[in-house]
Structure 1
Amino acid sequence: MIRRKPNMTFHPSYWFSSLGAGGTAVSFFMYLMWMVPHKNTPIPTFADWSTQLNEGGFMAALTFASLVGIIVFSILHFALLFWNIAESTAFKKDLKALVNTPAEVQLMAIPVTFAMTVNVLFILGALFIPNLWASVELLFPGAIAAFALIGVYAVRIFVQYISNMVRSGGYASVDHNHLSALVSVFTFSMLSVGFAAASAMSHIAITAAIATTLSIAFFAFALLIGIIVLSHGINAIMKHGIAEAASPSLWMLIPILTVLGISWVRLSHGLNHHFGIESSPGSLFLPLTVIFMLQLGVFTLGYKVMKANHYLTYYLYGDKENPISFGLVCPGVALFVMGMFWWHIGWVKTGIIEPFSPAYWIGIGVLFTIQVITISALLKLIRKLLRHPTPTKVAHV
């Protein structure tokens, strides 16, 4: 049963548990995306993986394991999603107490999780509902509408936060010595990549054009807000040092770069198909390499800081408890996912690396290690923060 410590105030960061589980489900989908043939559809479907399983061998086993991973972590995602909805409803006062404070922006963890839910549902539908792809053009407007509603919700939260901050002259830098406000950028980036799916995969011009426009809008919004948040956050960190409890925010840029990178790939496909702007694996090698190398740099810097202040020792492996620790999960998932895009588009599709060669599997092995470490961290944090035992009732004689 999911249960947090009763003496800990409910915080929006608990939503990152569901977000991380959903992202992990998507990470298992990456094996199918890049290793299961799907010539007739842009992503693998029920028919594609069924054919792969029937062929037997190692790839069939890998496909089966990936499907199990998708199912298990999708179930975990929805279990944590419903728990967070229930907790947010039951403890509205805790969330309202954040309004007009620097922590108000953390409410953006809610819409970004809902956006992940739409992505998970899309994957589950494509994989487990036979022949669904034949009607996919009817589903794209629904997906666009869902992301639009989430976008309105996210914009309302962010506008209220930024208006409160501007009205009061901003918050003291000592209260902003972290990068947690990047959750707003993450949210808008997630919406951008959601809209970009229809841009890349729809064959109906008007659907793709609307999706492309909305994706670019949130992409641009994410970039603008990102510049502002990074400049203020880094300045505050340089003055006061990183707030220990918010140390995972140093890695928040990693998932942002991943979803913006995937948005770029999807938009490139959509612009090529509908607007005649040429795109090729070679042309995507440069932006994907820049993004992945930047992610590795951010990861290394963040790890060195968290090693120096013993954050991982205290909050992941030790006795200190804080729901912000769930912010450690998405960066690991994002690094794995972007690694899969970079490896397959930049190296395999360009012919530099032969598919399923020894060199290919070495690269996959490195990424798999990242995935395993991330899953281990997610499960450890769930056990630590959300498996608090229910008090036993003492029987009175």
Structure 2
Amino acid sequence: MLQRLPHTPPEQYSPLYFLAALGAGGLGVAFFMWLMHWMPYSETPMPVFDELIGVLGQGPLYQQLALIGAWLGIAYFSVLHFRLLAWNLKSFQAFRRTAAYRALRESNAETQLLAGPLTLAMSINVGFVLGMAFVPGLWQIVEWLFPMALLAFLAVGVWALMLLRDFWGRVLTEGNFDCTKNNSFAQLLPAFALSMIGVGLAAPAAMSENSLTVLVSLVLSSFFIVTAIISGTVQLILGIRGMLDQGANPETAPSLWIVVPILTVLSIALLRQGHGIEVLGDGVGGVQGFGLLTTLLMAQVAFGLLGWVVLRRYGYFRRFVTGSERSPGSYTLVCPGVAITVMLHFWVNVALADSGAIAAYGGLYWTITGVALAFHAATIWLVMQLNRKHFGNAASRPSPARA
């Protein structure tokens, strides 16, 4: 039965209640596995209503029972998921006006806020499952739905990145991260959220026949997958260190299992990406080149965004690049500019053009090349600006800042 949801005082609410909605949505998606692996379908890469309905009249009894059971399970847990999601969103809005929320934003527990985008990413997956299981003629318009799904997942991803920007920007510039209280894997929640967004963004790569849709899906999903791996690796090591030092926290001990769903989601995402890469690639070399260069480029983007957050919070550019302060360390900025320029040229020519993913010297080719040229120009400007600051007028130069 769908029990009545309680009224929780705003100051007693926790963002971790989003995980209740997440779990219900996950159970609904799990019933879809019955349809994927037990039902016959040949016209589409995924089971859809138009083929499933034929099982009721022609399929064997076990398939008929499994189909009805799957439909009931998907419907029930999807309704429960969206009820819990609505309750959480309403409660969270009230919670944001409390002192408890402000205290959470200044503590290790700030990463609990990632439970919100994690659950919304699941909501999009649940919506797609509902469409395939119950909507006639869905596959006839599915190529129009894929761009909408990509935009929806990207919007959730932006929300997640903004939350991570606030968290990492705070702890890397102000400190205040209490390692003595990090004796669990609770800090892996952001990696879970990023991987869930990544697997959603990878779905069109596994199902679309439009090469541009597949390409966008591969690039966006690669960024979130790589970011999830980086974030998860860092917090996994810190969590193990905390538990070795303090012992595991009994209250957050269930977080020790969070690696399991992360690995499941990442495995599905990589399988989806593999299908998309095969669709785009001409031969093994093209496939390997695309996968390798795209993954490494997305890792560069992830680290670049992290560095941008910290440098911007410190006001580094207006102080040490365009301002009056000098530091020899500012020349460190030149190497990333050169590196991303070179990587973009390799990516557009080897990973995309040579593999046949895009047309060489076409519109998209020159658009991406334009980004590489923009980074190149910005790096040239940076060198000239730093040279003028450090070597231009020795008599008027202020003293270098201390490292």
Gaps of 5+ in 1: 279-397
Which has more radius of gyration? 2
Amino acid at match of 2:43: N
Amino acid at match of 1:43: M
Amino acid at match of 1:262: I
Inter-partner Cα distance in structure 2 for 1:144 and 1:43: 18
Task: Check if 1:23 corresponds to 2:26.
Answer: yes
Runs of 4+ that moved beyond 6 A:
none
Question: Is the CA contact (8 Å cut-off) linking 2:10 and 2:95 kept in structure 1?
Answer: no
Residue 260 of structure 1 is matched in structure 2 by 266
- Alpha carbons of structure 1 residues 277 and 171: separation in structure 2 relative to 1, 3 Å: farther
Inter-partner Cα distance in structure 1 for 2:173 and 2:182: 17
Residue 37 of structure 2 is matched in structure 1 by 34
Equivalent runs, 1:328-339 vs 2, <5 Å = none
Choose which of 138, 143, 146 in structure 1 pairs with 2:144. Answer: 138
Inter-partner Cα distance in structure 2 for 1:18 and 1:171: 29
Question: Is the CA contact (8 Å cut-off) linking 1:36 and 1:48 kept in structure 2?
Answer: no
Amino acid at match of 1:69: G
Inter-partner Cα distance in structure 2 for 1:7 and 1:96: 12
Equivalent runs, 1:2-13 vs 2, <5 Å = 2-3=5-6, 6=9, 9-13=12-16
Deviation (angstroms), 1:144: 0.3
* Aligned-partner SS, 2:252: helix
Residue 305 of structure 1 is matched in structure 2 by none
Higher RCO by CA contacts (8 Å cutoff, separation 6 or greater): 1
Question: Is the CA contact (8 Å cut-off) linking 1:46 and 1:129 kept in structure 2?
Answer: yes
Question: Is the CA contact (8 Å cut-off) linking 1:165 and 1:171 kept in structure 2?
Answer: yes
Question: RMSD in angstroms over aligned alpha carbons?
Answer: 1.4
Cα deviation, 1:64-106, whole Å, max 9, x if unaligned, reads 1011000000000000000001111122123333112100000
Question: Is the CA contact (8 Å cut-off) linking 2:10 and 2:91 kept in structure 1?
Answer: no
Inter-partner Cα distance in structure 2 for 1:172 and 1:125: 45
Inter-partner Cα distance in structure 1 for 2:108 and 2:19: 18
Equivalent runs, 1:352-367 vs 2, <5 Å = none
Equivalent runs, 1:1-397 vs 2, <5 Å = 1-3=4-6, 6=9, 9-55=12-58, 56-92=60-96, 93=98, 94-276=100-282
Aligned length: 278
Gaps of 5+ in 2: 285-403
Inter-partner Cα distance in structure 1 for 2:167 and 2:106: 7
- Alpha carbons of structure 1 residues 62 and 18: separation in structure 2 relative to 1, 3 Å: same
Amino acid at match of 2:275: H
Deviation (angstroms), 1:115: 0.2
Deviation (angstroms), 1:173: 1.8
Amino acid at match of 1:216: S
Amino acid at match of 2:162: R
Residue 343 of structure 1 is matched in structure 2 by none
* Aligned-partner SS, 2:251: helix
Inter-partner Cα distance in structure 1 for 2:30 and 2:178: 38
Amino acid at match of 1:41: T
Residue 324 of structure 1 is matched in structure 2 by none
TM-score normalised to structure 2 length: 0.67
